[in-house]
Amino acid sequence: MEHHDEREAHPHSTREDAEASLTYFQAMEVAVRELLIEKGILTADQIRRQVEDMDGRTPARGAKVVATAWLNPPFRSRLLSDGNAAIAELGLERGPYKLVVVENTSQVHNVIVCTLCSCYPRWLLGLPPDWYKSRSYRSRMVREPRAVLREFGLELPDSTTVRVHDSTADMRYLVLPMRPAGTEDWAEEELAALVSRDTMVGVAAPTKR
Amino acid sequence: MAQHPSQSPHDTGGQPAGPVERTEHDYLLWEKRVDALLVLLSHDDKRHMTVDELRRNIEGLGSAAYQTLSYYERWMHAIAQTLIQRGVISVDELGRKIADVEHRAAHGEL
Amino acid sequence: MKVRYAHPPGHVRTPAYVKGRQGVVERLCGTYPNPEERAYGRSGLPAQPLYRVRFRQTELWPNYRGSISDTVDVEIFHHWLEPA
């Protein structure tokens, strides 16, 4: 009986699949993919291109939207009233869902969750992190948001309202975080660098470093 | 908060749970391919499945499987189920193909 | 508005934690095909009104720790809502 060694995971953005220790679901993926290609429903090329497309989607797109809104008050207003149209102005795709941008202020802090699955503005931020999809985040963010935010290192006073958005249907949400003080004469790229994925989900606030 | 018998394991909003583990993993290639399958199959000009069918088949896994399988394992299960339900692939051909893939993998032919 | 207290089997996008609870319609999001039907390969048409309903956390949870102004917004389809 041959013994197959598992290849070690490489520190790339895609880990190499272990060579011969194919799990049942990995085998199913290969099988379904091959059947769909044989039936002419999809091509290998389409699948490869879609994987590459998703790889190219990082939170930088969202950060650009935020930085632009910080610099340009009329754009900010348009973004808040029609998110899809506003991001299209920047050359970004409108996206497959209605984009609702919610603005953080000193009075209101917004945070996003999808309790039922993992709805997330993927076309602007890329794939969601594991924790966003975890049972713990989905269960607790609607029940005790302040405690969960505290675990993420964000402490909010009672004078700030916490508004949780449970993305259960056809909207996708992006938090427009508060612009840090002392960044008045910063350029768009410098501002965008302050905007992490977590600030656009609402579990962190941008800070001037 | 007691769970209703018809409440699916995915509907966990408000239930007690432990601390949020903030570890993140880099997606494996096979996981990205599963994601790609869903995006391509549910795209407007393909319409071989919908996100709603994906979700309903994930929800249909039942509590034990839902908690044991990883995120993209649940997706893969649900994509296969949907394609079977829609008659795009048959149970028989999928079963044969999976066995073929496993055989090829075991012999280093994949 | 109040969310209907019903627990049918099948694909439901109204989360359990708001069933039977009272909230305020924050906005009409638009009309969308019904996901409960689309989940079974049906069209989900005619499109149904979808609302964003705002719930007060202190009304949803016993011993809620936070501000009385804290809220949860949930998207709920028209057919799950009834007058309070």
Interface check for A117 against chain C (CB to CB < 8 A): the answer is no
Contact C66 A146 (CB under 8 A): yes
Contact B13 C10 (CB under 8 A): no
C22 forms beta bridges with: C2
CA distance B19 to chain C (A): 17
Q: Name every chain B residue with its beta carbon within 8 A of the beta carbon of C16.
A: 1, 3-4, 7, 11, 13-14
Question: Per-residue pLDDT tens for A30-73?
Answer: 999 999 999 999 999 999 999 999 999 999 999 999 999 999 99
Q: Name every chain A residue with its beta carbon within 8 A of the beta carbon of C32.
A: 169-170
Domains of chain C (ranges; CATH) run 2-82 (2.30.30.50)
Beta carbons of C76 and C46 less than 8 angstroms apart:
no
Closest listed residue to residue A69, CA positions, set A82, A86, A88: A86
Interface check for C61 against chain A (CB to CB < 8 A): the answer is yes
Cα C67 from Cα A56, distance rounded (Å):
40
Q: What is the mean pLDDT of residues A124-137?
A: 97
Closest listed residue to residue A89, CA positions, set A103, A101, A75, A77: A75
Cα-based angle A28, A33, A38 (whole degrees, multiple of 5): 125
Please check the confidence at residue A7 and state whether its pLDDT lies above 50. Answer: no
Beta carbons of A194 and A180 less than 8 angstroms apart:
yes
Tell me if residue C53 falls in helix, strand or coil: strand
Interface check for B87 against chain A (CB to CB < 8 A): the answer is no
Q: Which residue's structure tokens are 């956390």?
A: C57
Report, as residue numbers or ranges, the catalytic residues of A: 114, 117-119
Interface predicted TM-score of the whole assembly (ipTM), two decimals: 0.96
Interface check for B77 against chain A (CB to CB < 8 A): the answer is yes
Chain A, nearest residue to C31 by Cα: A170
Cα A166 from Cα A169, distance rounded (Å):
9
Q: What does the mean pLDDT of chain A come to?
A: 92
Contact A47 B33 (CB under 8 A): yes
CA distance C47 to chain B (A): 15
Q: Name every chain B residue with its beta carbon within 8 A of the beta carbon of A150.
A: none
Interface check for C59 against chain A (CB to CB < 8 A): the answer is no
Cα A164 from Cα A171, distance rounded (Å):
14
Chains within contact range of chain A (3+ C-beta pairs < 8 Å)? B, C
Chain A to chain B, count of Cβ pairs less than 8 Å apart?
A: 165
Contact C44 B3 (CB under 8 A): no
A38 Cβ neighbours under 8 A, 6+ residues apart:
none
Question: Per-residue pLDDT tens for C51-81?
Answer: 999 999 999 999 999 999 999 999 999 999 9
CA distance B44 to chain A (A): 10
Check residue B8 and give its pLDDT. Answer: 86
Q: Which residue's structure tokens are 């008045």?
A: A184
Question: Per-residue pLDDT tens for A79-92?
Answer: 999 999 999 999 99
B64 Cβ neighbours under 8 A, 6+ residues apart:
none
Closest listed residue to residue C42, CA positions, set A98, A96, B35, B47: B47
Domains of chain A (ranges; CATH) run 24-55 (no CATH), 60-201 (3.90.330.10)
Q: CB-hemisphere CA count at 13 Å for B21?
A: 9
Cα A31 from Cα A97, distance rounded (Å):
31
Check residue C7 and give its pLDDT. Answer: 93
Contact B34 A29 (CB under 8 A): yes
Q: Name every chain C residue with its beta carbon within 8 A of the beta carbon of B86.
A: 41
Question: Per-residue pLDDT tens for B29-71?
Answer: 999 999 999 999 999 766 899 999 999 999 999 999 999 999 9
Interface check for B88 against chain C (CB to CB < 8 A): the answer is no
Contact A131 B100 (CB under 8 A): no
Residue C32, both tokens:
């969308």
Contact A20 B108 (CB under 8 A): yes
**What is the residue-wise DSSP string for B17-82?**
--PPP----PPBHHHHHHHHHHHHHHSTTT-S--HHHHHHHHHTT-HHHHHHS-HHHHHHHHHHHH
Contact C38 B14 (CB under 8 A): no
Q: How many Cβ atoms are within 10 Å of C14's Cβ, its own excluded?
A: 23
Check residue B110 and give its pLDDT. Answer: 86
Chain B, nearest residue to C37 by Cα: B52
Chains within contact range of chain B (3+ C-beta pairs < 8 Å)? A, C
Interface check for C70 against chain A (CB to CB < 8 A): the answer is yes
Beta carbons of C81 and C51 less than 8 angstroms apart:
yes
pTM summary value: 0.92
Domains of chain B (ranges; CATH) run 29-106 (1.10.472.20)
Question: Per-residue pLDDT tens for C21-44?
Answer: 999 999 999 999 999 999 999 999
